[in-house]
Amino acid sequence: QVHLVESGGGSVHAGESLRLSCTASGLTDEPYALAWFRQVPGKQREGIICIARVGTLVNDRFKGRFTISRDHPTNAVSLQMDNLTPEDTATYYCAARQKTTCVLNSVSYDSWGQGTHVTVSS
């Protein structure tokens, strides 16, 4: 019953920034953790960053470049991506799990958005 929708993907040049948004609906009154993942063809889905009641968790690969924040007044989160490189080209997904803590393992999440694609050219 949880519905997640990503938006904000597009094409940028290396060194530029992009901000993705994820809007969530159908959440219960239980606490939820919200996270961003990305995936390219032939590779595993990779955890980027998560926000939950007890704090945030970021993959070291993205520390200092990618930031997560909650948007108001709706149940939404944003992913701010700075200093993008061609290796950041991927489909980006938001995900939710009914927990107060964060993990970056895709198996731990049971609700997913459809994804939004980001292309970074050199």
Which pLDDT belongs to residue 39? Answer: 98
Q: Which residues contact 52 (CB under 8 A, 6 or more apart)?
A: 31, 32, 33, 34, 99, 100, 101, 102
Which pLDDT belongs to residue 66? Answer: 98
Contact predicate 21/8, CB 8 Å: yes
Q: Is the pLDDT of residue 98 over 70?
A: yes
| Backbone φ/ψ region at 100: left (φ over 0), alpha (ψ -120 to 50), beta | alpha
